[in-house]
């Protein structure tokens, strides 16, 4: 009874706030759902919560001039909630929350601080629907490409593209400056780390004071999860070596789970940390190093020179495939976490975008109706994402354990079928 009342109040509150957003937004310009979705899941140099934007430190290094630029992103003179900056600092501008370099800056732009706009009116005059940056299609290396630009003094200045998801490896864009900024994702990660340290030190302390007694408080919340990883992941996969790898598996599990859940908290900026390729790349590299550095001779023999197979077969297909497999395993770890979390965030943004699409296509009345449906769909999605947050953390941990099982297994295990309950893992 009580629960249903809370749920009711929550749904109506959300519908009201969503419809408010529908009235506020879409004042001018066409609504672009795809661009909105990508903007909202991207990392940013400002932390926006609702209508407020908090500037974050920018630490940039220009390779060409060798100049370090360290300043707060507030120096870009933030306007509106799109995360655009009205000012140029050291040849950089803030476009959609991200620092971009100007590809053809004048010498004055590189040295210091000036307005993008030619008129000297106050930046606060800009209404938030007015975009400072335009887009146009340009031929680059024989390919059509959309580039952002701004106009100053009658001259067009083009912005360098953001680093693409492939880090430039497959011909995507790669920024020509080094960005060590404390971005939104970094802030979220630090917050999650501090929270985890706080809770886990507390839990550890409770284990000392409660020695031999039933768990109390927060200890009772974390004990089932720790025991679950220990009994379902570490012990079946790692045999007698489980104690050695349990801390690593627990760290990976709780770190990913913390990041996933932090991204699900509404009205906290919805940072997409575990849906950022750089974060999952580092997690996958950690798993790759632990798996391969603890690999024994038996594992490497099976990778490089599989016993009991004709030599020509090994040279032609088996060894190349096995060596590829060593690298494909961490790559799939990286992509799986990234794709699942990003997809979840994106679906939620699209559901909210339905309101704006309805408003543009069918007017305000329909948008009100749509917001009711959109709230319900978003809540349903969030419930599913809660499940996905746990499953993806668990999958990353269990796959790491399965790869560890393959790399640390002793040779004599091959004669016993019974110790191979989880042989499907590799």
Partner 1 sequence: MGSLAGIGMGLAVIGAGIGIGNIGAKAMEAIARQPEAVGDIRANMILTAALVEGAALIAIVMAFLVG
Give the residues lining the site for partner 1 (CB under 8 A).
166, 170, 232-233, 236, 328, 331-332, 335-336, 339, 391, 394-395, 398-399, 402, 421-422, 424-425
Give the count of alpha carbons within 13 A of 293, CB side only: 7
CB distance 303 to 326 below 8 Å: yes
Nearest to 294 by CA among 423, 396, 403: 403
- Using the minimum distance from each CB to partner 1, give the nearer residue, 125 or 166: 166
C-alpha closest to that of 273 among 338, 330, 199? 338
Distance CA 45, CA 99 (A): 7
Report the nearest approach of partner 1 to the CB of residue 353 (Å): 20
Whether 64 and 201 have beta carbons less than 8 Å apart is answered as no
Report the distance separating Cα 94 and Cα 84, nearest Å: 5
Q: What is the DSSP string of 285-314?
A: HHHHHHHHHT--HHHHHHHHS-TTS-HHHI
Strand stretches in 24-133, DSSP E:
46-49, 52-55, 57-62, 67-72, 78-79, 84-85, 87-89, 92-95, 98-101, 113-115
- Residue closer to partner 1, measured from CB, 6 or 387: 387
169 or 293: CB nearest partner 1: 169
Tell me whether residue 87 or residue 161 sits nearer to partner 1 (CB atom): 161
Q: Over the range 5-19, which residues count as b (16 or more CB within 10 Å of their CB) and which as e?
A: eeeeeeeeebbeebb
Question: What is the nearest approach in angstroms of partner 1 to the Cβ of residue 321?
Answer: 14
| 102 DSSP 8-state letter | B
Cβ 296 to partner 1, closest distance in Å? Answer: 23
Closest to partner 1 by CB, 215 vs 236, is: 236
CB of 403 to partner 1, least distance (A): 11
Give the list of residues 6+ apart from residue 10 with CB closer than 8 angstroms, or none.
none
Residue 166 beta carbon to partner 1: minimum distance, rounded to whole angstroms: 8
Cβ closer to partner 1: 108 or 166?
Answer: 166
Q: Provide, rounded to whole angstroms, the least separation between the CB of residue 240 and partner 1.
A: 19
- 76 or 394: CB nearest partner 1: 394
Query: What spatial distance separates the first Cα and last Cα of the chain, rounded to whole Å?
Result: 49
Q: Closer CB to partner 1, residue 242 or residue 394?
A: 394
- 40: helix, strand or coil: helix
CA separation for the pair 241, 341 (Å, rounded) = 32
Nearest-approach distance from CB 246 to partner 1, in angstroms: 16
Which residue, 72 or 332, is less far from partner 1 as judged by CB?
Answer: 332
- Distance CA(131)–CA(192), nearest Å, equals 34
CB of 395 to partner 1, least distance (A): 4
Min dist CB 181 to partner 1, Å, is 26
List all residues 6 or more positions away from 49 whose beta carbon is below 8 Å from its beta carbon. Answer: 267, 268, 269
Q: Give whichever of 62 and 230 is closer to partner 1, judged by the CB atom.
A: 230
Please state the closest distance from residue 70 (CB atom) to partner 1, in A.
Answer: 35
Beta-bridged to residue 100, according to DSSP, are 93
């Amino acid at each position: 009874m009580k629960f249903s009342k809370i749920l009711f109040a929550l749904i109506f509150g959300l519908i009201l706030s969503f419809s408010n957003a529908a009235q506020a937004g879409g004042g001018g310009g066409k609504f672009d759902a795809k661009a909105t979705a990508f903007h909202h899941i991207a990392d940013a140099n400002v932390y926006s919560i609702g209508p407020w934007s908090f500037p974050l430190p920018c630490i940039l290094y220009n390779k060409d001039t060798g100049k370090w630029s360290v300043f707060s992103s507030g120096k870009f003179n933030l306007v509106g909630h799109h995360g655009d900056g009205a000012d140029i600092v050291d040849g950089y501008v803030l476009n959609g929350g991200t620092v971009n370099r100007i590809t053809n800056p004048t010498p004055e732009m590189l040295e210091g601080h000036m307005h993008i706009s030619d008129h000297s009116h106050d930046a606060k005059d800009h209404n938030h629907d007015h975009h400072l940056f335009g887009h146009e299609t340009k031929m680059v290396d024989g390919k059509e490409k959309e580039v952002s630009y701004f106009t100053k003094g009658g001259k067009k200045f083009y912005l360098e593209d953001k680093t693409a998801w492939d880090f430039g490896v497959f011909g995507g864009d790669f920024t020509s400056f080094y960005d060590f900024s404390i971005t939104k994702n970094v802030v979220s990660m630090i917050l999650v780390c501090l929270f985890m340290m706080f809770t886990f030190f507390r839990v550890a302390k409770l284990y000392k004071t409660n020695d031999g007694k039933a768990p109390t408080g927060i200890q009772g919340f974390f004990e089932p999860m720790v025991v679950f990883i220990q009994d379902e992941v570490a012990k079946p996969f790692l045999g007698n070596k489980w104690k050695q790898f349990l801390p690593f598996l627990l760290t990976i599990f709780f770190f990913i789970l913390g990041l996933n859940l932090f991204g699900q908290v509404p009205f906290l900026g919805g940072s997409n940390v575990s849906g950022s390729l750089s974060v999952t790349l580092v997690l996958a590299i950690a798993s790759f190093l632990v798996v391969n550095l603890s690999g024994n001779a038996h594992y490497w023999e099976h990778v490089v020179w599989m016993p009991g197979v004709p030599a020509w077969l090994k040279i032609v297909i088996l060894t190349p495939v096995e060596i590829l497999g060593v690298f494909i395993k961490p790559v799939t770890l990286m992509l799986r976490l990234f794709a699942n979390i990003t997809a979840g965030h994106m679906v939620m943004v699209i559901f909210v975008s339905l309101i704006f699409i309805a408003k543009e296509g069918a007017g305000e009345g329909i948008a009100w109706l749509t917001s009711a449906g959109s709230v319900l769909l978003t809540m349903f999605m969030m419930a599913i994402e809660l499940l996905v947050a746990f499953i993806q953390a668990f999958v990353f941990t269990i796959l790491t354990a399965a790869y560890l099982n393959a790399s640390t297994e002793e040779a004599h295990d091959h004669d016993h079928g019974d110790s191979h309950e989880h042989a499907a893992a590799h």
